[in-house]
Structure 1
Amino acid sequence: MNIHSGVKLIFVMAAFLFLAACGQKELEDPLEWEISNIEGTSQSGEDFSVEEMEGKVWMANFIFTSCETVCPPMTRNMAQLQEKFKEKGIEAEFVSFSVDPEVDTPEKLEEFATAHGADLETWSFVTGYSQDEIEAYGQESFRTIVSKPEGADQVTHGSSFFLVSKDSKVMKHYKGDTNVPYEKIVEDAKILAEQ
């Protein structure tokens, strides 16, 4: 092979690699919020740890079972999203953190999950930490409010859905209570799952 054809081959290979890289979609404006670990208990009474989610794409939200406003519709919306992921073959997990851990037992969470259409094969409803822990965790890792005033039975919390990458970073957040952008979430999750 002469120098001329060697140079030509290098250019062809470089062009091919460039085009191959262009074929892999990237998320638009990823948030890249680092999240820390929290440990708890799932609806089935098993130990749960965010550290164990490493290497998986997952969706997260914050709910509680005696919620009188956004939690039932949010959970039904997340169940619809779970169904759409299955239809598209997107491998992902779902996690709902209870913001009322002293009230929400694993049994109550399982009942709530089942009542709102959650498929518990790939969806964990988590409790078993303290109120202070989940309030700090929501604020520090997901930049969302979690607050249960003294003596109250309702908890103030955000209604977003969060998309978390395989390396435990919040990449996107979306409306979770009404006008959920299902197609956008599916598209974004597919990009992360394929990375």
Structure 2
Amino acid sequence: MAVSRRRLITAAALAPVLGACDQAAAPLSFKAVDITGADYAQDLDLPDTEGKRRHISEFKGKLTVVFFGFTQCPDVCPTTMLELAQVKQALGADGAKVQGVFVSIDPERDTPEVLKAYVQNFSPDFIALRGTPEETKAMAKRFKVFYAKVPGKTEGGYTLDHTAGSYIFDAQGKVRLFTRYGAGAEALKHDLQILLKQTA
């Protein structure tokens, strides 16, 4: 009986330790698609509205959210940017650790002036990037972003079909998540909070 009792005590004492190990090994419950370690979406190399070339490495210490879109987009693009701005605000002081980056897929119409006004309408610290048509195509390919012109109702007019989602980079500049359009602000906030805790 004495031996059995000692075994029971030992097992009871180890239970919290084993439980803690199990918790530490549990996978992170992101709402977005976890693409940690992906061999695409590694970096940006495009000029901003002032002509300065920008890279993900510039934003180390912050979470960077990259979205490819165009200013004349009627719904997906403004909704995505608005949700990101709302989440930044909802995060309070931590919102300053979130950098929004809008990459134009329509350099033909999205002039630097138009882009700057567009992104700053959502948040004064959001930045917009605009390359040549060739640079834009190459960068979209690097991020596995699809886009294509769709003829409009007026002659010469057009809209664009494009990948509707954002890439999220952690504070070390590594791509971590792809969040699909329609997931909502709460899901985005949830995932950013997890990454912010990792940063802390």
| Same structural fold, with TM-score higher than 0.5 when normalized by the shorter chain | yes
Check 1:69–1:173 CA distance in 2 against 1; reply closer, same or farther (3 A cut): closer
Q: 2:92 aligns with which of 65, 87, 103?
A: 87
Counterpart pick for 2:128 among 111, 125, 128: 125
Aligned to 2:113: 107
Q: Does 1:30 align with 2:34?
A: yes
Q: 1:49 to 1:148 in 2, by over 3 A?
A: farther
AA matched with 2:123 = D
Question: Compared with structure 1, are the counterparts of its residues 74 and 187 closer, same or farther at alpha carbon in structure 2 (3 Å cutoff)?
Answer: closer
Say whether 1:137 aligns with 2:143: no
Tell me if the contact between 2:83 and 2:184 (Cα under 8 Å) persists in the aligned partners: no
Please state how far the C-alpha of 1:61 moved relative to its aligned partner. Answer: 1.1
Local SS of the residue matching 1:95: strand
For the structure 1 residues 119 and 139, does the alpha-carbon distance in structure 2 shift closer, same or farther, using more than 3 Å as the test? same
| Counterpart check, 1:157 vs 2:162 | yes
Match of 1:57 among 63, 66, 71: 63
Q: What secondary structure, in the 3-state scheme, does the structure 1 residue paired with 2:159 have?
A: coil
Change (3 A) 1:144 1:25: same
Instruction: Specify every segment of 5 or more residues in structure 2 that has no aligned partner in the other structure, as ranges.
Output: 1-9
Give the superposition deviation at 1:62: 1.4
TM-score by length of 1: 0.70
Q: Is the 8 A contact 1:135 1:147 kept in 2?
A: no
CA shift, 1:190, in A, is: 1.3
Q: Under a length normalisation based on structure 2, what TM-score does the superposition of the two structures give?
A: 0.69
CA contact (8 A) 1:41 1:106 kept: no
Q: Which amino acid aligns with 1:61?
A: F
Partner of residue 193, structure 2? 190
CA contact (8 A) 1:63 1:97 kept: yes
Q: CA 1:48–1:15 in structure 2 vs 1: closer, same or farther (change >3 Å)?
A: same
Runs of 5+ consecutive residues of structure 1 not aligned to the other structure: 1-7
CA 1:184 to 1:25, structure 2 compared with 1: closer, same or farther past 3 Å?
farther
Tell me which structure has the larger Cα radius of gyration: 2
Q: CA RMSD in A?
A: 3.3
> Does the 8 Å contact 2:56/2:64 carry over to 1?
no
| Alignment length (residue pairs) | 176
Which residue of 2 is the match for residue 173 of structure 1?
179
